[in-house]
Amino acid sequence: MFEGFERGRFDHNGVEIAFVRAGAGTPLLLLHGFPQTKALWNKVATDLVRDYSVVVADLRGYGDSSKPGNGPDCANYSFRAMAEDQVALMRSLGHERFHVIGHDRGGRTAHRMTLDHPETIESMTVMDIVPTRTIFFEGGADAAYAYYHWYFLSQPSPLPETLIAPDPDFYFESCLSGWGPDGASAFPADALAEYRRCWRDPEAIRAMCADYRAAWLVDCALDAADADRPIACPTLALYGEAGLMARQFDVPGEWQRICTDVTGKAIAGGHFFIDTAPGETIATLREFLPG
């Protein structure tokens, strides 16, 4: 995977962030979501690298990045902490300003990045998400049923970790299969193998639960404090036209509530349309990005 890319590890205050990079020109940062890794972006990055300087990273707690211990509120797994990792990584590579593209948890990291580090973000692309506070406080019963994992994974340790550990493939593949019309067989074999390799690590299971605990215990309060701060950078909101998110929310409309310049578009497939419809994803990104 990522043929021709340079592989590296960046130490940010003792947390190592695994990344790959290649290309020249306008810098792009690509961030994955749960329960995946940077392998999500293999096909997309391999195309975009022809015209852009592309950096693809594992979030802390995921993939080959560090999985630090977590305190009672899991604040070091908040989207603020994840955003700081990635901004520091990009600066270490010489990119003071860049375009950020994030799917799922990576999109939430991008959202926090635009609030905490607005001077660094040229544009934000969020994929198949609405803001975190919207999920928790405005989604209602249907959203809670569809996105039960938000509440399951955030339960106190070690409940979810203990239930997942005996068969992580079963649990995480149920997530891949359940959030849209595509089963696990629709995912590229090399990417699926990489996801399995990483989520079988007990420390990765613990870290992913910490991520969801932090969303409830930390990120909601941070987002509430910034509720009246509009996001001014150009924003692209993509979503799977057959996915659960599109059935629960007006995805572009939710981002228009907090962003001043939003373009919205549906992509064929469900939540994991990057894996299952990479061509359409690439074309849409190229329409939005400069150059």
Residues with active-site annotation? 104, 271
**Measured between alpha carbons, how far is 105 from 124 in angstroms, rounded to an integer?**
14
> Can you state the angle between helices 105-116 and 79-92, rounded to 10 degrees?
70
List C-alpha distances in Å: 38 to 46, 205, 231, 255, 282.
12, 17, 26, 25, 16
Q: How many residues in total does the chain contain?
A: 291
> Can you state the angle between helices 168-178 and 189-199, rounded to 10 degrees?
130
Closest CA to 150 of 166, 165, 162, 134: 134
| Phi/psi of residue 20, nearest 5 degrees | -130, 155
Yes or no: say if 202 and 160 are a contact pair by the CB < 8 Å rule: no
CB atoms under 10 Å from CB of 139, counted, come to 18
Residue 203, classed as helix, strand or coil, is: helix
Residue 191, classed as helix, strand or coil, is: helix
**Measured between alpha carbons, how far is 29 from 45 in angstroms, rounded to an integer?**
10
Closest CA to 98 of 86, 108, 107: 86
| Phi/psi of residue 258, nearest 5 degrees | -125, -5
